[in-house]
A and B are shown apart, each in its own frame.
Chain A
Amino acid sequence: MKRVYFFLPLFSLAFFACRKTPDTTPLTVGFVVQTAKEPGANFSNYKTYYISDTIALKTSNPLDSLWFDSDAKQLVDAVKTNMDARGYTMVTSNHGHPDLGLGLTVIEDLNIGVIYPGWWWGYWGGCYWGYCGYPPYYPWYGGAYVYSIPTGTIILDMIDLKNAGADGKLTVPWGSVMSGGLGYTNDDLQLGVEAINQAFEQSPYIQSH
């Protein structure tokens, strides 16, 4: 009987193990889409917007800074399509005094250990036309990478140009961070377009009227 006393706890611990690794195979490849708006922001105050065809690009290559080919245009067009559908009018140049400035940034990096958009936005600065934006509060959950694979992150910022203060500071009434692993499908770009559509879908308050 004494022997049983000795072995049972060991057997028991080994059998049940402390913690199972979860089965993550059901997870889909769709980007995680987060959106945040400034509390109290009223989107019907704005009627026009401008977005550049150029996307700010951050990769492990320090020479990367701009992305403006046809692929980049697909992401920009996705933003335009959604903004138009919500009743906003695109002005053809940033000299046309748009109410809102939209900016896209894409990060492709193997080496970012943890994404904290709070840190991110500070790093990137969100500066437009000489103004620097205040990032809205962003409720990121502090996720870490599980797998060592290429990942992509798209950041979409909406900047209030209409109410630019004399001090040169801007507010960011809305923003989205979309991210996920790359290389799971033949068309990572499509994941980006779907993520931008989702960002607007989960933000029904973005309406010009």
Chain B
Amino acid sequence: MAMKKIIITSILFVFTATAFAQKNLFGIGWEINFPNNTDYINKTSLSGGKIEYRHFFKKNFSAGLALNWATYEEYLPRQTFVKPDGNSAVTSDFVAQSYQLPITATAHYYFKETKMLKPYVGIALGGQYLQQSLYYNVYVSDDDSWGFVARPEVGVFIKPNQFKEWGFLIAANYSYATNKTELLDLNSFKNFGITIGVGFWH
């Protein structure tokens, strides 16, 4: 519930602010994600994306909203998983899948801009929906949850032409989310991400 309030407040804040818009930025990108969770999916995800909006309050500061999504998938060969208490065990092979959907409010600080480059650092805070699924034999088990997510980010817009209002975007982020997955005894979801995209502003 608290998470919903944070998200709604963030959205209101940003949309109220746009009434005074001087400069807005819209970005989309493809995301490559590297999961960083012990004893679970390790395989890199190429199935991710991002849409974001930023409003510039100053030349070097913006706030906005971002929506990211990513699907991770890995085949786990047949093996026996024993619960920590040693009383129960399950043997099977699995196709494990994680679907991640962070919805965040963002803040970015921009360093000195050159003709071609507009580098920045930023932070995204918000809620993350996470669905963890295990497919085995002819069955599937799902566990979905909401958690708080924090995503620090560094990136740069590369402008092919300094007079045009667009640029390529390359960014890297680390994401830490508090999603709890009872199915897998996981208390968080962590990943590194790289964004390759494009940004438009006016």
Contacts and interface: CB of A to CB of B under 8 A. Distances in A.
Interface stretch (B12-20, B47-55, B105-113): B47-55
Interface of B: 26, 28, 30, 47-49, 51, 69, 71, 73, 75, 78, 80, 82-83, 85, 87-95, 97, 99, 131, 133-142, 165, 183, 200, 202
A21 to B, nearest CB: 9
A12 B197 CA distance: 11
Interface string A16-45: 101110111011111111111111000000
B183 A141 contact: yes
A165 interface: no
A201 to B, nearest CB: 8
A200 to B, nearest CB: 11
Interface of A: 1, 4-5, 8-9, 12-13, 15-16, 18-20, 22-24, 26-39, 115, 137-139, 141-147, 149, 151, 179-181, 198, 202-203
B92 A33 contact: yes
Contact of A29 (B47, B49, B75, B137): B137
Nearest to B164: A1
A145 B138 contact: yes
Q: Which one of A27, A28, A38 has the greatest number of beta carbons of chain B within 10 Å?
A: A27
Nearest to B138: A181
A144 B88 contact: no
